[in-house]
């Protein structure tokens, strides 16, 4: 920390009446916050060839942010209980966060540390920090999410932070209660969060790297979808459903929830909703006509007190969508020559003051603030003419006088806002206003275009002598300096000389000097500017992002001026159940539109599952809150999704994909609306005492059945892709066959040559081949896999390692992995699938063998079987005729019946397939005694170490539990589908 910063810290500590330990902590936090800030105007953009100084600068800021986070974690109890220095520390940390968002947005690691600090303060200090942090989230983090100049990974980090901050229903409700339904807040945090998240999930908001990093863009959309599902899950968790009881007892009935209009929150919510509706209508009206028509609409639909707040918020939020000259003409007009609604001159002055209350000038120089106003960075331009009604005549001189008075009113509002944000610069706003007025007069004198408008240019000495009396202690003016000592003011008189020099050289609206332009003003003014400023493409992109985020942080500073968002203002907690109606009402339409857009084009299983859960949560929330029409919308979408997935599941064994056309035709005809469960629910809704719990049970059951069908469809889709494109000589499409994994391994040929092959593993088959064609399909029921030692002669002679062997009655070969980890992964995965499959199929085999042995008759062959169940090759009338195993009754080809075995309950030898050979060998010992048949016994017969055995055994037990639950789900799904 430099000498100037040290002096500032020492002065602050002298003013704090606290123990020495607390002063030390405060001084340490100040010092670390200073270290976190960049040196000069540099940010964390790494140059193309970074030097040692650049890398050390980045590391310094990252380590300083980690230290600041550690300090906050260590002192959270003191911050929570102590009020002496906590306010000053938290205000300092808030400013540091905003500064770091501007200068650290380019460096992902540093920005992640900033997000960690925000999440910690949100979680650790909910009563004092949620309100100011909500402003930062709304203005900065949501702004980054909506920006097309930021990357997908930056947005994904923000979404992950938001999911941690809003992981509980109480936090969502409290934010909605304190912001969305507060008429004086002007921030709709929950509604904006749902809107932005829906647009990210849909892919409506682009990212700067969406074409170059497709994987990151996909991860961003899935992360946004997870957040959406989480929001509605929290609403359902607050209300309770059939599988999860409510988090708070005494859940109200739908009848009591529907009678919510008399509650206090509903009155505020109605007012806020009406305000949003009026502003939206005004925006549409303004786009069709001009700004004044939109403002007139607000005046017609509001009282005079309401119109001040609504018009100022409307101008601040939507000024960039209108002509800046129109906004400026409205702000400077006194209403003398133009009328808008019932707005009087005092009302216009109040609107102007309320508008500037939302603008931030923290840390800015006064001249830069004036330049920002003249350059249009505040949302308006200084006009050259007034709005005049058609029945009013005005001469040129009178218009000039009115314009000058209007500009003076804007300067006064700017001076008031500037002194409000920089209270230690000037003694009062009168001083700032007089300096600003002198700067504008000097600009008009020096840079006047028309000769008749040119005024004598004062000399520097005369100009300074006119302003110096403002800083004397005995000034006689409207607001004399009396309350503040000049010792605490930071304005140096030499700045007046720099103001004179700067204005005489550059006009106030010059694009090349001063101010802190935002992206909108850069883009707008560059269209009408004839200057060509050469700049590197990457540097310009970095400058765009930084300028855009800087403008977001300035808006956040402006919102934090409101005492309602200070760290001293407590967060109001809400225990109302009916407030969930407001949450649902402002979000359900965007929610279902986003989900329905995603689900009908989704291919990934996890995405479809999340969409089904979203529809389920939305339907349960709607019926429990009493929104019957919205509930019908949700279940209609659920019926279409369930019908589509169940139709595909019924036709999943077919290689022909033309059934999709039939499915689309059925959907277009609305056949999904004829589902029995859907008709029963809609018929029950006409009754006054419908069963809400029964509806929830039905919705959950239908969603679970759809998930089961999706699981089968996606597995068979992978099978269909492999069968049609890579292994057309095999019949692999089968219900219940699941894809496990794939990868590249080297196969050792009999001649000693290593060849790279693609290996694909299913839960009952192992395939390998080149990228053009599958060479072999091995049934896991007849395979043996074991590790090959590096000292084995088969690999030692060729100096190979990390090998394992695959052996079957038809094929035996050695597979070589690239490293030990890959070998362990593949070997354990194959063994796990092999043992799990054999132990599960052994019971079916024993039952078939006992039935055949006891009756002495083979079961009739399956006429629909078109391929061997052992080698998966299709039957033919000449080379591969359909046969049947005399021991187990499987339909196999003659090539897979290679041995004769004795019957279990008799001494007669019969022809048996290869699967029976393996099963008899594993089920009986040499004396014909039954061996223990469970996964642990099979693993003990394999050459594996204890850790691998335990890991594989745990995985097999978990897989068997999942399989048993899937069987139950499948049976219930088939039962419900048959009844429908």
**Which residue, of 518, 533, 548, is where some domain finishes?**
533
Residue 730 covered by a domain = no
Separation CA 709–CA 644 (nearest Å): 9
Instruction: Please tell me whether residues 272 and 142 are part of one structural domain.
Output: no
Q: Which residue has the tokens 């069968």?
A: 723
**Which residue, of 515, 533, 551, is where some domain finishes?**
533
Residue 324 covered by a domain = yes
Residue 572 covered by a domain = no
On whether the CB atoms of residues 16 and 26 are closer than 8 A, the answer is yes
Q: Which residue has the tokens 């850069």?
A: 522
Q: Partners of 806 in the beta sheet?
A: 785, 813
Q: Two tokens at 590? A: 């965007």
On whether the CB atoms of residues 434 and 447 are closer than 8 A, the answer is no
Q: Partners of 774 in the beta sheet?
A: 769
Please enumerate in sequence order all residues whose Cβ is within 8 A of that of 47, keeping only pairs 6 or more positions apart, or say none: 54
Strands (E) in 472-554, as ranges, are: none
Residue 462 covered by a domain = yes
CA-closest candidate to residue 132, choices 505, 553, 642: 553
Separation CA 611–CA 72 (nearest Å): 39
What DSSP element (H or E) covers 569? none
Q: Which residue has the tokens 């170059």?
A: 212
Which pLDDT does position 967 carry in this prediction? 43
For 244-310, give the secondary structure using H, E and C. Answer: CCCCCCCCCCHHHHHCCCCCHHHHHHHHHHHHHHHHHHHHHHHHHCCHHHHHHHHHHCCCHHHHHHH
DSSP tag of 578: T
Q: Which residue has the tokens 């030898």?
A: 909
Give, in order, the Cα–Cα distances in Å from 209 to each of 108, 150, 198, 308, 543.
14, 8, 19, 42, 17
Query: Where do runs of H (alpha helix) occur along 48-151?
Result: 52-74, 76-81, 86-103, 108-124, 126-136, 142-146
Burial of 60 (0-12, 13-18, 19+ CB in 10 A): middle
Residue 650 covered by a domain = no
DSSP tag of 873: P
On whether the CB atoms of residues 785 and 944 are closer than 8 A, the answer is no
Which pLDDT does position 616 carry in this prediction? 93
Residue 275 covered by a domain = yes
Strand order across the 812-816 sheet: 774-779, 765-769, 754-762, 739-748, 812-816, 803-807, 784-788
**Which residue, of 82, 117, 146, is where some domain finishes?**
146
Q: Is the dihedral of CA 726, 729, 730, 734 positive or negative?
A: positive
Give the DSSP per-residue string, 639-699: HHHHHHHHHHHHTTT-S--THHHHHHHHHHTTGGGG-HHHHHHHHHTTSTT--HHHHHHHH
Instruction: Please tell me whether residues 907 and 758 are part of one structural domain.
Output: yes
Q: Is the dihedral of CA 237, 242, 245, 248 positive or negative?
A: positive
* DSSP-based three-state secondary structure for 338: coil
Separation CA 940–CA 949 (nearest Å): 8
Look up the CATH number of the domain holding residue 744: 2.30.29.30
Which pLDDT does position 577 carry in this prediction? 74
Phi, psi of 311 (to 5 degrees): -70, -40
Separation CA 13–CA 29 (nearest Å): 12
Q: Two tokens at 331? A: 């702000």
Q: Two tokens at 478? A: 């409207």
Which pLDDT does position 107 carry in this prediction? 82
Instruction: Please tell me whether residues 137 and 269 are part of one structural domain.
Output: no
CA-closest candidate to residue 871, choices 772, 778, 737: 778
Phi, psi of 342 (to 5 degrees): -105, 20
Number of structural domains (the chain) is: 3
pTM above 0.85, yes or no: no
CA dihedral 945, 946, 950, 956 (to 10 degrees): 40
On whether the CB atoms of residues 681 and 657 are closer than 8 A, the answer is no
Q: Two tokens at 373? A: 């106003």
DSSP tag of 517: -
* DSSP-based three-state secondary structure for 816: strand
Q: Is the dihedral of CA 555, 587, 144, 55 positive or negative?
A: positive
Domain holding 286, by residue range, is 265-475+491-533
Burial 468-505 (b: 16+ CB within 10 A, else e): eebbeeebeeeeebeeeeeeebebeeeebeebbebbbe
Residue 708 covered by a domain = no
Number of H helices, E strands in the chain: 36, 11
Separation CA 822–CA 827 (nearest Å): 8
Separation CA 388–CA 109 (nearest Å): 55
Residue 821 covered by a domain = yes
Q: Two tokens at 629? A: 């029409």
Look up the CATH number of the domain holding residue 357: 1.10.1000.11
Separation CA 622–CA 640 (nearest Å): 18
Q: Which residue has the tokens 């400026």?
A: 328
CA-closest candidate to residue 777, choices 753, 757, 755, 761: 761
CA-closest candidate to residue 380, choices 447, 429, 332: 332
Separation CA 275–CA 281 (nearest Å): 10
Separation CA 325–CA 331 (nearest Å): 10
On whether the CB atoms of residues 307 and 343 are closer than 8 A, the answer is yes
Q: Which residue has the tokens 């999930």?
A: 201
Which pLDDT does position 725 carry in this prediction? 78
Which pLDDT does position 536 carry in this prediction? 38
Residues in the chain where the model's pLDDT stays below 70: 1-20, 38-56, 80-88, 183-186, 210-212, 240-272, 289, 335-342, 362-363, 386-394, 449-454, 473-490, 510-543, 558, 561-570, 653-658, 906, 925-953, 955-980
């Amino acid at each position: 920390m430099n000498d100037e910063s040290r002096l500032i810290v020492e002065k602050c500590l002298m003013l704090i009446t606290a123990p020495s330990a607390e002063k030390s902590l405060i001084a340490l936090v100040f010092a670390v916050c200073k270290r976190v800030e960049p040196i000069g105007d540099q940010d964390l953009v790494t140059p193309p060839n970074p030097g040692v100084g650049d890398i050390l600068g980045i590391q310094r800021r990252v380590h300083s942010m980690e230290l600041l986070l550690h300090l906050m974690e260590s002192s959270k109890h003191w911050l929570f209980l102590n009020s002496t220095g906590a306010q000053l520390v938290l205000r300092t940390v808030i400013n540091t966060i905003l500064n770091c968002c501007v200068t650290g947005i380019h460096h992902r690691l540093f920005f992640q540390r900033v997000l960690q600090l925000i999440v910690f303060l949100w979680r650790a200090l909910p009563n004092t920090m949620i309100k100011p942090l909500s402003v930062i989230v709304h203005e900065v983090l949501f702004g980054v999410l909506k920006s097309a100049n930021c990357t997908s990974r930056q947005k994904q980090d923000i979404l992950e932070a938001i999911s941690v901050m809003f992981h509980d229903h109480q936090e969502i409700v409290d934010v909605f209660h304190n912001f969305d339904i507060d008429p004086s807040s002007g921030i709709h945090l929950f509604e904006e969060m749902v809107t932005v998240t829906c647009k990210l999930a849909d892919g409506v908001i682009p990212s700067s790297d969406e074409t170059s990093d497709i994987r990151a863009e996909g991860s961003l959309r899935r992360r946004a979808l997870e957040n959406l599902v989480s929001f509605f899950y929290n609403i359902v968790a607050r209300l309770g459903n059939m599988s999860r009881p409510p988090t708070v007892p005494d859940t109200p009935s739908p009848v009591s929830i529907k009678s919510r209009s008399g509650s206090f929150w509903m009155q505020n919510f109605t007012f806020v909703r009406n305000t949003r509706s009026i502003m939206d209508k005004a925006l549409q009206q303004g786009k069709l006509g001009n700004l004044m028509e939109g403002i007139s609409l607000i005046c017609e639909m509001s009282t005079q007190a309401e119109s001040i707040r609504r018009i100022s918020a409307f101008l601040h939020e939507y000024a960039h969508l209108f002509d800046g000259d129109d906004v400026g003409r409205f702000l400077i007009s006194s209403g003398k020559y133009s009328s808008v609604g019932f707005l009087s001159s005092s009302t216009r002055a109040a609107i102007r003051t309320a508008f500037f209350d939302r603008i931030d000038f923290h840390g800015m120089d006064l001249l830069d603030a004036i330049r920002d106003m003249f350059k249009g960075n505040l949302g308006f331009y200084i006009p050259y003419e007034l709005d005049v009604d058609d029945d009013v005549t005005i001469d040129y001189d009178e218009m000039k006088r009115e314009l000058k008075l209007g500009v003076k009113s804007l300067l006064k509002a700017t001076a008031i806002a500037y002194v409000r944000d920089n209270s230690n610069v000037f003694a009062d706003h009168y001083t700032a206003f007089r300096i600003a007025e002198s700067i504008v007069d000097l600009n008009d004198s020096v840079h006047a275009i028309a000769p008749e408008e040119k005024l004598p240019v004062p000399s520097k000495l005369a100009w300074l002598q006119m302003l110096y009396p403002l800083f004397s202690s005995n000034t006689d003016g409207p607001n004399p300096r009396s309350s503040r000592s000049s010792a605490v003011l930071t304005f140096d008189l030499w700045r007046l000389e720099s103001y004179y020099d700067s204005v005489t050289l550059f006009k106030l609206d010059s694009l090349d000097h001063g101010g802190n332009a935002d992206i909108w003003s850069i883009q707008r003014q560059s269209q009408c500017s004839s200057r060509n400023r050469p700049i590197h493409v990457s540097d310009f992109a970095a400058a765009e992002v930084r300028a855009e985020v800087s403008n977001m942080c300035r808006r956040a500073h402006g919102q934090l001026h409101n005492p309602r968002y200070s760290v001293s203002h407590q967060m109001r907690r809400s225990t109302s159940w009916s407030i969930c109606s407001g949450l649902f009402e402002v979000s359900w339409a965007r929610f279902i539109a986003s989900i329905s857009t995603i689900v009908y084009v989704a291919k990934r299983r996890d995405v479809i599952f999340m969409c089904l859960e979203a529809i389920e949560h939305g339907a349960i929330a709607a019926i429990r809150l009493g929104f019957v029409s919205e509930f019908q919308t949700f279940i209609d979408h659920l019926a279409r999704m369930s019908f589509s997935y169940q139709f595909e599941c019924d036709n999943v064994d077919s290689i022909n994909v033309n059934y999709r056309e039939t499915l689309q035709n059925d959907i277009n005809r609305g056949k999904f609306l004829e589902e029995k469960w859907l008709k029963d629910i809609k018929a029950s809704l006409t009754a006054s005492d419908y069963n809400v719990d029964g509806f929830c049970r039905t919705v959950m059951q239908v969603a679970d059945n759809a998930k089961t069908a999706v699981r089968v469809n996606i597995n068979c889709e992978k099978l269909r892709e492999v069968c049609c494109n890579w292994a057309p000589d095999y019949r692999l499409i089968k219900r219940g066959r699941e894809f496990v994994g794939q990868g590249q391994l080297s196969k050792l040929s009999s001649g000693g040559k290593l060849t790279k092959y693609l290996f694909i593993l299913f839960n009952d088959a192992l395939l390998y081949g080149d990228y053009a064609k599958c060479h072999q399909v091995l049934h896991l029921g007849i395979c043996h896999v074991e590790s090959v030692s590096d000292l084995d002669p088969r690999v030692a002679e060729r100096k190979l390692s990390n090998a394992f062997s695959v052996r079957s009655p038809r094929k035996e070969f050695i597979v070589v992995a690239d490293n030990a980890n890959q070998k362990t992964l593949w070997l354990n995965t194959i063994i796990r699938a092999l043992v799990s499959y054999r132990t599960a199929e052994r019971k079916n085999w024993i039952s078939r063998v006992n039935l055949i042995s006891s009756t002495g008759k083979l079961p009739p062959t399956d006429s629909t079987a078109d391929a061997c169940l052992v080698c998966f090759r299709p039957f033919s009338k000449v080379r591969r005729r359909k046969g049947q195993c005399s021991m187990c009754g499987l339909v196999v080809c003659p090539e897979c019946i290679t041995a004769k075995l004795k019957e279990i309950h008799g001494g007669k030898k019969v022809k048996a397939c290869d699967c029976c050979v393996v099963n008899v060998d594993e089920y009986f010992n040499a004396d014909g005694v039954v061996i223990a048949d469970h996964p642990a016994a099979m693993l003990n017969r394999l050459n594996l170490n204890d850790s691998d055995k335990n890991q594989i055994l745990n995985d097999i037990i978990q897989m068997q539990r999942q399989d048993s639950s899937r069987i139950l789900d499948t049976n219930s799904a088939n039962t419900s589908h048959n009844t429908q």
